[in-house]
Amino acid sequence: MLPMKGRDQTAHGIMKEGSGEMKAKAIILLTALGVLMVSFCLAETVSGTCGTGVNWTYSDGTLTISGEGEMATYTAKNGAPWKELGVQEVVIEPGVTSVGAHAFDGCSGLTSVILPEGLTSVKASAFSGCTCLESITLPDSVTEVGNSAFGGCTALSQITLSESLESIGDYAFSSCTSLSSIYIPDSVTVIKGHAFAGSGLESIRMSDNIDTMGTYVFENCVQLAEITWPASMRRVPLYSFSCSSVSTIILQEGVNIIEEGAFHSCAQLTEIHLPLSLTRVIRNAFLECTHLTDIYYAGTEDEREIIEIGLDNDKLQSATWHYGASGECAIGIHHLVNGVCRSCHRSFDISGMTVVQLPEDLTALEAEALRGTGAQVVIVPAGCTEIGSRAFADCPDLQYVLLPEGVALATDALSGTEAELLYR
C-alpha cells in the first residue's frame, strides 16, 4: 500500500489531469457555440430605415434598399448601419432616387451592385474603398456622380456610365487602378478635379460637350498613353497630366491656353500637336518632359511667334517644330488663304461640285444635322461656333467641309466620312 502522501499526490494528479481535459472540452464547446452564433447572426434578417420613406433589409450577405425617395446621408465617422454586417451584394429597388453619401464606404467585401432606372445620383464616397467591386452599370437616369463616389475601388475594371450623366465629381474614380478605359457620354459637361487621378486608364474618349474641367484630372495616370483633348475646352487646366505616362497629345483647334504644370513630369511624352488657335503656354507646363522631341504645329514658323511661352518650358523650345504639312495637313486638315493652304500650298477648287451653303445666321449645327447628305461640299458660315456629334456622318460623296477658324468640332462629326476640313 502506498503511503497516504503518495496516494494524495496520485489522486491530485488524476484530478488535475481530468480538470485539463474538461477545460479543453469546454473550450471546444464554447468555440463551436461561437461559430454557431456567428452563423446565426449572419443568416439572421435585420432591417431598418435609411431615409425618409426608404428602408433597408439585410439577409445572408445581401442588402436590399427599397422605398421612395433619397437615401440618407452618412459620414466617414458615422457610417451606415450595415457597415459591419459583411455586405456582399447590394440591390436598390425602383423608387429610390439616390445612393447616399458614404452609404457603402469601406464595404471591402462588396462584389455586386444592382441599381434601378429612376436613380438620379450617386453621392459623395458612396462606394469609396469597395476594393472587391469589379463592375457596375449606372442606369441612364443618373445625372451626377459625386466626389470620391468610386475612389479607391482598386478592383473596378468596368463601368458603364449613364447616357444622361452631366457631372463627374472630384476624385470620383481616383486610384481605380484596374480601370483601363472608360467611355464618357456626350451628355457630360463637367469633370471636376482629380477625377481620374492615379487610375489605371490607358485610353479615354471625352465628349466635345465638356465645358468645365478641373485641375489634376489625369495626374499620375501611369498607363495613359494617348489622348485627344476635347475641342470644346479652350484651356488645358493646371497639372492636368502631371506625372502621367502620356506619350502623344492632340490639342484640337480652339484650344488657346496651356496652363501651369499641365504636362509637368510627363517623362514619356514624345510629341504634341498644337493648334493654330494656341496663344499662350504658362510656366512649367512642360517642365521635366525629358523625352519631348517633336511639336506638330498647325501654323507657320512666323505664326509660331504669336505664342507666348512662359518660364521653365525649355523642352518645348528645344524640340523640333514641324509646320503645316508635317502636322495637320497630313491628316486632311488645311488652313486656307484665298483658296490655298498656307502650310502645304495646295489649292482647292470647288467649282462644278454639289455645294450646300448653310445659312449665314447659323450659330450652331446640331448633331446629325447633315448626316447622309449627298453633297460634295458643305460651307459652314463664319458665325457658326459649334458643330455637333455626327453632323456630317455617313456621307460617302462629301469631299470638303469649309469651316470658320475657331469652330468647336465634335470629334465624331465626320464619322464614316472621309472629307477634308478646310479652315478659312
> What is the model's pLDDT at position 38?
43
Residue 389 lies in a domain: yes
d(CA 364, CA 411): 15
Whether residue 370 contacts residue 356, with contact meaning beta carbons closer than 8 Å, is answered with yes
Q: Which segment of 30-44, 258-272, 275-289, 409-423 scores lowest on mean pLDDT?
A: 30-44
Residue 377 lies in a domain: yes
Residue 154 lies in a domain: no
**Which residue matches cell numbers 445572408?**
60
Q: Which segment of 21-30, 106-115, 147-156, 297-306 scores lowest on mean pLDDT?
A: 21-30
Strand partners, 63: 58, 90
Domain count, the chain: 1
Residue 337's pLDDT band, with cuts at 50, 70 and 90, is low
Whether residue 162 contacts residue 184, with contact meaning beta carbons closer than 8 Å, is answered with no
- Cα separation values, 152 from 74, 126, 308, Å: 18, 11, 39
d(CA 243, CA 218): 9
Q: Which segment of 8-17, 236-245, 251-260 scores lowest on mean pLDDT?
A: 8-17
Domain with 360 in it: 348-424
Q: Report pTM.
A: 0.69
Residue 371 lies in a domain: yes
- pLDDT at position 197 over 70: yes
**Which residue matches cell numbers 518632359?**
289
Average pLDDT on 345-369 reads 85
Indicate if the alpha-carbon torsion angle 225, 229, 235, 240 is positive or negative: negative
User: DSSP letters along 168-193, please?
Assistant: E-TTTTTT-TT--EEE--TT--EE-T
Average pLDDT on 291-315 reads 91
| 297-303 contacts, C-beta under 8 A, 24 or more apart | 297/273, 297/321, 297/322, 297/323, 297/327, 298/253, 298/273, 298/274, 298/324, 298/327, 298/328, 298/333, 298/335, 298/343, 299/323, 299/324, 299/335, 299/342, 299/343, 300/324, 300/342, 300/343, 303/276
d(CA 218, CA 223): 11
- pLDDT at position 26 over 60: no
Of the candidates 343, 346, 306, 317, the one whose C-alpha atom is nearest the C-alpha of residue 328 is 343
Whether residue 93 contacts residue 115, with contact meaning beta carbons closer than 8 Å, is answered with no
User: To the nearest whole number, what is the mean pLDDT of the chain?
Assistant: 86
> What is the model's pLDDT at position 273?
86
Residue 340's pLDDT band, with cuts at 50, 70 and 90, is low
d(CA 277, CA 405): 8
d(CA 275, CA 297): 6
Q: Which segment of 36-40, 50-54, 154-158, 313-317 scores lowest on mean pLDDT?
A: 36-40
> What is the model's pLDDT at position 35?
43
d(CA 131, CA 111): 9
Whether residue 80 contacts residue 46, with contact meaning beta carbons closer than 8 Å, is answered with no
Residue 413 lies in a domain: yes
User: DSSP letters along 57-89, please?
Assistant: EEETTEEEEEESEEPPP--SSS--TTTTS---E
Q: Which segment of 184-193, 311-320, 399-408 scores lowest on mean pLDDT?
A: 399-408
- pLDDT at position 400 over 60: yes
Q: What is the CA radius of gyration of the chain?
A: 31
Q: What percent of the chain has pLDDT over 90?
A: 62
> What is the model's pLDDT at position 313?
95
Average pLDDT on 326-337 reads 58
Residue 402 lies in a domain: yes
β-strand pairing of 62-67 with 167-168? unpaired
d(CA 140, CA 115): 10
Give residue-wise pLDDT tens across range 37-62.
444 444 579 999 999 999 999 999 99
- pLDDT at position 126 over 80: yes
- pLDDT at position 172 over 90: yes
Residue 193 CB contacts under 8 Å (≥ 6 apart), including other chains: 170, 171, 214, 215, 216, 217
Which backbone phi and psi does 341 adopt, to 5 degrees? -65, 125
Residue 168 lies in a domain: no
Residue 23's pLDDT band, with cuts at 50, 70 and 90, is low
Q: b vs e for 271-298, b when ≥16 Cβ sit within 10 Å of the residue's Cβ? A: bbbbbbbbeebbebbbbbbeebeebbbb
- pLDDT at position 65 over 80: yes
- pLDDT at position 391 over 50: yes
**Run of H or E residues at 357:** strand 355-357
Residue 142 lies in a domain: no
Q: Which segment of 106-115, 201-210, 332-341 scores lowest on mean pLDDT?
A: 332-341
| Higher pLDDT among residues 5 and 106, named by residue | 106
Residue 241's pLDDT band, with cuts at 50, 70 and 90, is very high
- Cα separation values, 309 from 239, 260, 264, Å: 16, 11, 15
Give the domain CATH number at 401: 3.80.10.10
| Higher pLDDT among residues 85 and 24, named by residue | 85
| Higher pLDDT among residues 254 and 171, named by residue | 171
Indicate if the alpha-carbon torsion angle 79, 83, 89, 93 is positive or negative: negative
